[in-house]
Structure 1
Amino acid sequence: MKLTMKIEITDSAKEWFENEVGLEKGSGIRFLGKVYGSTEVHEGFSVGMEVTQPAEVLAKTIIDGIIYFIDKNDEWFFSGYDLQVNYDKEREEPIYHFIEH
């Protein structure tokens, strides 16, 4: 079964990752489900992220040489949704939106 999940990174989120995380071309950001917190569609789980290189990719987008991706091991968390990553100016951190597809 081929999944058609998409990852969208807004311009303001891209700038945050580049400035705050110190990403350079060739870097990878993995989005994953983690215990604790909540999302628009999950109770008890939130979105985490880590700087790493992709292995088994479920979905990815590349912007300015930076790979934003979701690993196949996190399919349970993202299944049925596209992920939009934006930036919350008030909280000064990324904000994640799940868009049903």
Structure 2
Amino acid sequence: MDITVTNDAAKWYKEELDLSETDAMQFYVRYGGVGGLQPGFSLGIKVDTPYEAVAETNVEGITFYVEKSDEWYFDTYSLHVSYDEKWEEPNISYE
């Protein structure tokens, strides 16, 4: 599993969540929501400190990561986060 975050998406998260260059943002599995990989679950985000990251990347000074406990959700997919200019927000995709 890999994580890819574009510079524009990282800038959006920095501005919207008021992140500094030493912060880390976790992608985690949450119950409910729509558009997820697994029925009944979706992807959430929170500012936190990595504990046992299974995948991570650093973009614009921010560490984006997924914990080992959420690895099951992605199965064989990787997480790609880009910026959607039309909607002016991040776009999550799995490949």
Aligned-residue RMSD, C-alpha? 1.6
Tell me whether 50-59 or 38-47 shows the greater mean CA deviation. 38-47
Tell me the amino acid that sits aligned with residue 96 of structure 1. Answer: I
Among 23, 36, 42, which residue is 1:46 paired with?
42
Runs of 4+ in 1 over 4 A off after TM superposition: none
Unpaired stretches in structure 1, ≥5 consecutive residues: none
Change (3 A) 1:89 1:35: farther
C-alpha deviations, 1:3-33, integer Å up to 9, x for none? xx11011122111111111111110000011
CA offset at residue 91 of structure 1? 4.0
Residues 31 and 68 of structure 1 are in contact (CA less than 8 Å); yes or no, is this contact kept in structure 2?
Answer: yes
Structure with greater strand percent: 1
Indicate the residue corresponding to 1:80 in structure 2: 76
Distance 2:79 2:36 in 1: 11
Aligned-residue offset at 1:40: 5.4
Q: Check conservation: 1:32, 1:77, Cα contact below 8 A.
A: no
Between the aligned residues of both structures, percent identity stands at 35
Aligned length: 95
Separation (CA, whole Å) in 1 of partners of 2:85 and 2:43: 18
Measured in 1, the distance between the counterparts of 2:11 and 2:20 equals 12
Partner letter of residue 16 of structure 2? E
- Structure 2 partner of 1:34: 30
Rounded to whole Å, the distance in 1 between the matches of 2:89 and 2:52 is 27
Q: How many angstroms apart in 2 are the aligned matches of 1:58 and 1:71?
A: 5
The residue aligned with 1:6 is 2
Q: TM-score, normalized by length of structure 2? A: 0.87
What is the letter of the counterpart of residue 35 of structure 1? Y
Unpaired runs of 5+ residues, structure 2, are none
